Structure 1
Amino acid sequence: MGSNKSNYNNNSDRNQIKVVTGDAGYVLQDVPHLCDYIPDLPTYPNPLQDNPAYSVVKQYFVNADDTVTQKIVVHKKSPRGIHFRRAGPRQRVYFESDEVHACIVTCGGLCPGLNTVIREIVCGLYYMYGVKRILGIDGGYRGFYARNTIPLNPKTVNDIHKRGGTILGTSRGGHDTSKIVDSIQDRGINQVYIIGGDGTQRGASVIFEEIKRRGLKVAVAGIPKTIDNDIPVIDKSFGFDSAVEEAQRAINAAHVEACSIENGIGVVKLMGRYSGFIAMYATLASRDVDCCLIPESPFYLEGPGGLFEYIEKRLKENGHMVLVIAEGAGQELLSESIHSMEKEDASGNKLLKDVGLWISQRIKDHFAKKNKMAINLKYIDPTYMIRAIPSNASDNVYCTLLAQSAVHGAMAGYTGFTVGPVNGRHSYIPFYRINEKQNNVVITDRMWARLLSSTNQPSFLSTNDVIEDKREDEPQVLDQEIFSEDNKN
């Protein structure tokens, strides 16, 4: 890597970024460590070296300088680009087992896999590191100062991964930084595991900053949760696979209903407030969908090339059709949308109108006015059913890896980080990268082209729209080079 230099850069949006630069444009966007603000901390041998479960592992520990590249597809002359610190156990830890007093909190909406993450954090701390004192914070962030705690151990969490929801309860809002950190300090907690979406991770970042300001030896680890898969940098969020799988049931039901009656239309609304990943992947997996509408892809109803014309065409060709719509799609078309989009929930999310009911009614009204074609429309909204299911096998494995990676990071003294897979390798990612933007479907990308090919629906975009969209994407491609240059100045 050549001679590296580590430094903190002050930025109004990115407080004290820890960056390591190296040869050939190498940039490590590192995560904070307890030693950054508490000097001369003692270290201890990692208990895993004496753990019989790990005796068969060829290499117990991750190398100190192992990193994971953010951009895996490169050209011959590409710079090495942005990297993140690889997750995993280290040879030395910064907490003795008897010293650790950990807590776990879940915030925001429900998502398949929450209980699995809770279970595996508890079991990871207990069985890998011999930690016996673990608390569950009841009811989200406000639980730190307004609710009771729940003692956790492997016995109490043994079967919780088979249930949906979260045994700790959850809530939106309730983030009072001073009260939360006061509670952490008063209880003697020194490891905080925070499971939640982008708003929750922003809150975790603020908690970390306050803990650091007070000089406390407390590791703050985030586990990113969003069923919509709209968290950037990481490959995908836990619960997403389960959600797509469960969405198939609703799409199949809509298809059966539509096929069983003349001019049948099945409308399915899926989750996706700002990002249409669930709708897109469920559509691609199903192959029974004739049209998929997502927030990233504008559409229109009336006129040549509009949705109504396409529906009429499909009904004439096939006698039925299935329409999948993400909850955030078409909001700008809804009546009084300006007023509805100004309102927010406790997490700061815009309160959306039910686009599924709205579009179903508009379709009915359109065909009723034409008097040419009688339709039979069935509307299915499985959103809360999908959120409440237990995670499937693939998500259970994924949640285990997330939880154990978070535990390894906290024990190794890392803090102010979130964990997730980047190009298939679990990594420690600084909070600001998770909080800086949302992950969206790129409608000029090949995955969306595959969907259009699968459904045969129009893109609802003109040539000029595509050109403009590609222009908007260009700065994102250059992001890592611009950021590398910033750090050289």
Structure 2
Amino acid sequence: MGVFSKSQMKIVTGDAGYVLEDVPHLSDYIPDLLTYSNPLQDYPAYSVVRQYFVDADDTVAQKIVVHKSSPRGTHFRRAGPRQKVCFESDEVHACIVTCGGLCPGLNTVIREIVCGLYHMYGVNKILGIEGGYMGFYARNTIPLTPRVVNDIHKRGGTILGTSRGGHDTSKIVDSIQDRGINQVYIIGGDGTQKGASVIYEEIKRRGLKVAVAGIPKTIDNDIPVIDKSFGFDTAVEEAQRAINAAHVEAESIENGIGVVKLMGRYSGFIAMYATLASRDVDCCLIPESPFYLEGKGGLFEFMEKRLKENGHMVIVIAEGAGQELLSESMHSMDQQDASGNKLLQDVGLWISHRIKDHFTKQSKMVINLKYIDPTYMIRAIPSNASDNVYCTLLAQSAVHGAMAGYTGFTVGLVNGRHTYIPFQHITERQNKVVITDRMWARLLSSTNQPSFLSPKDIIEDKREEGPTPTQLLDGENCMDDKPASKEICSTR
């Protein structure tokens, strides 16, 4: 096999087009790095495991459905415990930080990092950094033990607190160095992972023996490569409650309309999956699918038809949908929050007013509209059972990787296998719903709503995407020809 560097990434090539996008290791820049036997070999819980450790050559394919003539393609290093570790248990001084917005499962990840380090590797020195990145140099720390974190998975939010922005690389690495921290676990979205990548680069430049591991967090499920982000299942499940309330309100009165706004600044995954799960939604509007209100084939025409047919309807709209239609928002298009996200107008409130105006002034039809915005309720709840299990495995994968000396990586599920992914692969773009794929077609079939696209739009969209084969899950062709942005299969 040949090894070479490309755009600061470790690339390993092999036969038949095999490409491994490897993650950095402390030995890349620390000469004569000592290694030790993994204490897991003496851990009673693992005594029943036939093979304790992941083989050094185990990798996970990014795409699992290929043609006969396809090259083996891109792979990532499989996560899990290694035979040799680069830290002795009493040497480890770890820290955990949470950044960005809230998401179900944050406390579960914190808990399982602490318990994994303590129980599996005998680590006793673990700090919680309060208040996000700025907490490294501006806030107190919290000593974390299994007793402290025992019940936190039952609560929403994060016991460490969080914030947006506050990233000062030099101050952060100075604090890490001054405190003697040698393992850093960073939980956050794409902006946070970009910050983690910069921290890793500075640590590498200084030649410090410090492992930096990221756990990707976004309720919107807009992180690329990975199958899904933690908290997403919980968000979709909780969104059902709001949709159900809107449906009950709408069907209980003549010409009732329920409008539900869900999270999804740039990606409409929550809205799409909540719509498919509920089966009570008549129209789903997401950022990736432009729509228009007036005229033939527009939203208002569809609403009039649906109200005449059923006497009620439910609309789900993602927070980032239709922003180009809000003329009032033009002055704020360039405004951003501390994380660099666009400040959006309330599209749910805006579209509710437009619907009322249309039916009052133009259609002369009496409607009863109820607007429900469960945004912060959804992200502030504890994670459900599915996400709790997922968070546990993500946390343990991060711990195994850091103990083995890997650094500058994000953990994630790729085609059902936990992997170590280079930061650059996670932060280079955002994952979005592709509206010329099967999943969106399934939604249109479920709701019977118009696509709001002309045949010309669809042809141009497909042409832009190109014929690159997609990542496929569960053996099903979830997405026809599309770029590397992923989609979760309906069978998952």
In 2, Cα distance between equivalents of 1:294 and 1:249: 19
1:48 aligned onto 2:30: no
Counterpart selection for 1:265 from 254, 257, 263: 257
What do the CA deviations read for 1:4-31 (whole angstroms, capped 9, x no partner)? 011222xxxxx42100000000000000
Instruction: Show the counterpart of 2:5.
Output: 8
In 2, Cα distance between equivalents of 1:186 and 1:270: 43
Over 3 Å counting, the alpha-carbon distance change for 1:435 and 1:353 in structure 2 is same
Partner letter of residue 6 of structure 1? V
In 2, Cα distance between equivalents of 1:67 and 1:39: 26
SS in 1 for 2:77: strand
Counterpart selection for 2:283 from 291, 300, 304: 291
What do the CA deviations read for 1:427-480 (whole angstroms, capped 9, x no partner)? 000000000000000100000000000000000000011111111211754999
In 1, Cα distance between equivalents of 2:199 and 2:118: 25
Over 3 Å counting, the alpha-carbon distance change for 1:207 and 1:475 in structure 2 is farther
SS in 2 for 1:55: helix
SS in 2 for 1:251: helix
Partner letter of residue 8 of structure 1? S
In 1, Cα distance between equivalents of 2:463 and 2:180: 51
In 1, Cα distance between equivalents of 2:387 and 2:483: 30
1:280 aligned onto 2:277: no
**Contact (CA 8 Å) 2:466, 2:483: kept in 1 or not?**
no
Counterpart selection for 1:212 from 188, 201, 204: 204
**Contact (CA 8 Å) 2:115, 2:145: kept in 1 or not?**
yes
Instruction: Show the counterpart of 1:394.
Output: 386
**Contact (CA 8 Å) 2:467, 2:483: kept in 1 or not?**
no
What do the CA deviations read for 1:85-133 (whole angstroms, capped 9, x no partner)? 0000000000000000000000000000000000000000000000000
Q: Following superposition of structure 1 onto structure 2, how do residues 10-409 of structure 1 map, counting pairs within 5 Å?
A: 15-409=7-401
**Aligned-pair distance for 1:153?**
0.4
Partner letter of residue 74 of structure 2? I
1:460 aligned onto 2:452: yes
In 2, Cα distance between equivalents of 1:252 and 1:134: 43
Partner letter of residue 474 of structure 1? G
SS in 2 for 1:231: coil
In 2, Cα distance between equivalents of 1:367 and 1:424: 48
In 2, Cα distance between equivalents of 1:441 and 1:264: 29
In 1, Cα distance between equivalents of 2:91 and 2:49: 27
Instruction: Show the counterpart of 2:479.
Output: none
**Contact (CA 8 Å) 2:12, 2:20: kept in 1 or not?**
yes
Partner letter of residue 101 of structure 2? G
In 1, Cα distance between equivalents of 2:96 and 2:54: 25
SS in 2 for 1:336: helix
Instruction: Show the counterpart of 2:436.
Output: 444
What do the CA deviations read for 1:321-377 (whole angstroms, capped 9, x no partner)? 000000000000001333221100000000000000000000000001125310000
Identical aligned residues as a percent: 86
In 1, Cα distance between equivalents of 2:202 and 2:388: 33
**Contact (CA 8 Å) 1:276, 1:296: kept in 2 or not?**
yes
Point out where structure 1 has 5 or more consecutive residues left out of the alignment. 10-14, 482-489
SS in 2 for 1:415: coil
In 1, Cα distance between equivalents of 2:4 and 2:81: 24
Over 3 Å counting, the alpha-carbon distance change for 1:214 and 1:480 in structure 2 is farther
TM-score normalised to structure 2 length: 0.95
Instruction: Show the counterpart of 1:433.
Output: 425
In 1, Cα distance between equivalents of 2:77 and 2:483: 16
Partner letter of residue 37 of structure 1? Y
In 2, Cα distance between equivalents of 1:24 and 1:243: 41
**Contact (CA 8 Å) 2:356, 2:367: kept in 1 or not?**
yes
**Contact (CA 8 Å) 1:292, 1:325: kept in 2 or not?**
yes
**Contact (CA 8 Å) 2:11, 2:20: kept in 1 or not?**
yes
**Contact (CA 8 Å) 1:82, 1:480: kept in 2 or not?**
no
How many residue pairs are counted as aligned between the two chains? 473
What do the CA deviations read for 1:290-344 (whole angstroms, capped 9, x no partner)? 0000000000000000000000000000000000000000000001333221100
In 2, Cα distance between equivalents of 1:223 and 1:415: 12
Instruction: Show the counterpart of 2:473.
Output: none
**Aligned-pair distance for 1:34?**
0.3
TM-score normalised to structure 1 length: 0.96
CA RMSD in angstroms, aligned pairs only: 1.2
